[in-house]
Structure 1
């Protein structure tokens, strides 16, 4: 019979069953010294522990007396047996600390995907970055050789390297027609840190946040970790529905609205100009700030319409905090993002970021400023755009086999992902296992708050030939026809 040991507030099965008083004493002593039972906590009643372990009550009573003789526990009349409160040198109950921590480990589905990446073969459709053949490696090597190290090896300025903030301002004007004061820009270690800073700096436990559903944010536990409540905004093929947002605002009065309106992750949809204007008018009426995540702004597929202006531009900046990224268009290891907004907010967020990590490394910032100020930068963006079109079109053709599954999808106009509805009654966690068994990894829709049966696939990381092979195997896996 297995032994049961307290863990995370419940009794967990252990491998070895104590049969004698001595074995039970050794197990109890080990549990106390490992912090499973902390000082001043009550041990299980003798009868209960005896029943759990399949022992006589007298065996447990004798073991408790031995613990008392060793000075590890004390008996309290009418109350039970307690670990002594003055014990020292006991290992902390780390599981208890992890359970109570604000930030939690990955949810089971996210952990399954992460483990799948380690196990799968050469067909990874789950990541959110461009392929390594897109990276401007030679340009970065040349720029790195030109960096004046003496100027960038010290601590950085609170808001980031001035040259990079100026370069971001230049790029915002060139790409989005937004005039931006460099003092209104905070450099971050990627868009994800920017979102973290906004959540930690502007929100409080109990605040309610209106966000799209599905959304990348559901996969990050960004808000749930600190007690904010999410209000999902329904979406259709054109992004969020303003009427639905109006209903949420009237009935729940959210503290803030967080949106990814351009090349949305994971659906790849783009909010129309009319809907953007409606959202801005609605939030203005209710005096609600908007956080605009525009990390995919540079990733338009060549030949598709230009995306509408960002909310940040349409709202004349005052009520919108804008999050941009260089990581998606240059390389994922180039962890450079930024927040743009009112100067007072940017200064406040800069102070918070300074307390967390003393800033993004200045060397990386100096390297990042190079491409943005290079005459070749527009050509790089254009080259990526055309390469994305080639890969998207090839991927779309390779998906033709999914029509047999009655799957539905729309070729994206930007971003890095196809969003498929493959339907069926098989849970996502089962399909992931099937896919990994044939060497394929993908991101299931449930990770982003969607129902089972939705699939996010990165079309830009693999070559067309690799993608075609991987998609054929994925189709068989999703259909349950494993090809091992």
Structure 2
């Protein structure tokens, strides 16, 4: 079949959506009957002058609609059974293309990356050996499950867990909250969604760190909230930028991950914490403190006071935490410490989003905090993460230069190391090259950063494989740098020929 049609790069729909629509029309009209083969991905990409990943995304949409099928070694063809589906289905592509869709091709590629033989340096969760699974199993068996569960009994969440959080020697001081100032949630992402529902309206603007936590951006975008970027350096966000953002965009609040920030690993200095509070007090702006990592500093590290615990913080800071980073990722129990004036609105938002949270999980969380072994286990995790960060730093110094470098100092805690490689290649290209070398990394574009950056997680992979993963990433960057050098040399040669 001769291909005359081409997508429009300036069209209102993404190029992969245009390709998908083109083939959908041909299939539904009968021009491509059942069993007809579609062009190979590489061939179609060349014909249309697009990236192969764009064709892969278009074919993926067609598969999701049930219009085509792909088999290894046989390529992609029109589904044999597509006529049985009828022709009056909803136009799912139109619905998805007109609304916020948190799934980008790059995010899908990162999610699909971990597989056998690939060292996973992408996931923000503890390795299984660092999770207190045996302790949680024992505590679960010791709990009294005869007491019934009812959201009417504890509309803010399990009272026992709220009391345990408020009084815990490590967690309580940073929360600076009494039990009735705590609302239990399904984790930080759920907490941010409740805050958006309770405090913001579509079209409002908020200031977020740039780069920033991937799923926080998704929560606000899905709610129709406009995000403006606050620059981040080795000392965290830059508070002096806030007044201008307020003047230009009338931001409604500031969102920060002040300790071991995701993805950069930076920690907001005490001077900047005080400056941030002073500026937001002057502008009457609330602060959202996303704080899942502050318990994970290296052994001997002295934690900085939380924003909420500083003078004036209790009146304007909402602090969010979670068990998913300190216990196990499947334990979707989190909390918001908030001014009492907001509690009714936050409770109403939680009720509207799912009535209640998991009371069994909350009871287990209270037992976990109350066990003397939790703090001991936490020290083991802190020491293990420090070993992992040091292994990554040594491997980076030995193999990444001159292709990439850790930004600023090595983080003193948390899961992440932020690397600058400076190559003018898309995140998808970097990920694909790394995958070919047997390692998965998170490109910086996932966090709102420009190309040339990537995040390494030291939390999930086997400890003795982290250095090898860094070496494989270095090999991938070296190959990409060689390709870029060759391309630049060819471009210079063509310019000289024209001259």
TM-score range normalised by the length of the shorter chain: 0.7 to 0.9
Q: Residues 142 and 218 (structure 1 numbering): CA distance in 2 closer, same or farther, change over 3 Å?
A: closer
1:209 deviates by: 0.5
Which residues in structure 2 correspond to 1:278-297 (within 5 Å)? 278-297=275-294
1:245 deviates by: 2.1
| d(CA) in 1 for partners of 2:395, 2:148 | 47
Q: Residues 284 and 404 (structure 1 numbering): CA distance in 2 closer, same or farther, change over 3 Å?
A: same
* 2:435 matches 1:441: no
| d(CA) in 2 for partners of 1:207, 1:232 | 14
1:262 deviates by: 0.9
1:427 deviates by: 2.1
Q: Residues 461 and 15 (structure 1 numbering): CA distance in 2 closer, same or farther, change over 3 Å?
A: closer
| d(CA) in 2 for partners of 1:451, 1:3 | 34
| d(CA) in 2 for partners of 1:173, 1:219 | 25
Q: Which residue in the other structure is 1:207 paired with?
A: 204
1:431 deviates by: 0.8
| d(CA) in 2 for partners of 1:282, 1:211 | 15
Task: Give SS of 2:406's match.
Answer: coil
Q: Which residue in the other structure is 1:429 paired with?
A: 428
1:441 deviates by: 1.0
Alpha-carbon deviations, 1:373-416, whole Å to 9, x = none?
Answer: 11222222222222222222122212221124252333111110
1:27 deviates by: 7.2
* 2:85 matches 1:95: no
Task: Give SS of 1:221's match.
Answer: helix
Which of residues 130, 137, 142 in structure 2 aligns to 1:141?
137
* 2:234 matches 1:225: no
Contact 2:175 2:337 in 1 (8 A): no
Contact 1:212 1:240 in 2 (8 A): yes
For structure 2, list consecutive stretches of 5 or more residues without a partner in the other structure: 35-85, 482-499
1:426 deviates by: 2.2
Alpha-carbon deviations, 1:115-171, whole Å to 9, x = none?
Answer: 223x46341111111111111111101100012222254546321111111111112
Larger mean CA deviation between 399-408 and 190-199 belongs to 399-408
Task: Give SS of 2:254's match.
Answer: strand
Please give the root-mean-square deviation of Cα atoms over the aligned residues, in Å. 3.0
1:13 deviates by: 3.1
Larger mean CA deviation between 461-470 and 429-438 belongs to 461-470
Q: Which aligned segments of 4 or more residues in structure 1 are displaced greater than 4 angstroms? A: 6-11, 15-18, 152-156, 172-175, 217-220
Q: Which residue in the other structure is 2:386 paired with?
A: 389
Number of positions where the alignment pairs a residue of Structure 1 with one of Structure 2: 417
* 2:130 matches 1:121: no
Which residues in structure 2 correspond to 1:54-453 (within 5 Å)? 90-101=88-99, 103-117=100-114, 119=115, 121-155=117-151, 157-171=154-168, 176=173, 178-217=175-214, 220-304=217-301, 306-314=302-310, 315-400=312-397, 401-409=399-407, 410-453=409-452
| d(CA) in 1 for partners of 2:437, 2:323 | 34
For structure 1, list consecutive stretches of 5 or more residues without a partner in the other structure: 31-87
TM, length-normalised to structure 2: 0.77
Alpha-carbon deviations, 1:238-258, whole Å to 9, x = none?
Answer: 111122223222333211111
1:439 deviates by: 2.4
Q: Residues 122 and 148 (structure 1 numbering): CA distance in 2 closer, same or farther, change over 3 Å?
A: farther
| d(CA) in 2 for partners of 1:470, 1:115 | 17
TM, length-normalised to structure 1: 0.79
Contact 2:176 2:308 in 1 (8 A): no
Alpha-carbon deviations, 1:317-360, whole Å to 9, x = none?
Answer: 11111101111011111111100111231232122212222222
Q: Which residue in the other structure is 1:57 paired with?
A: none
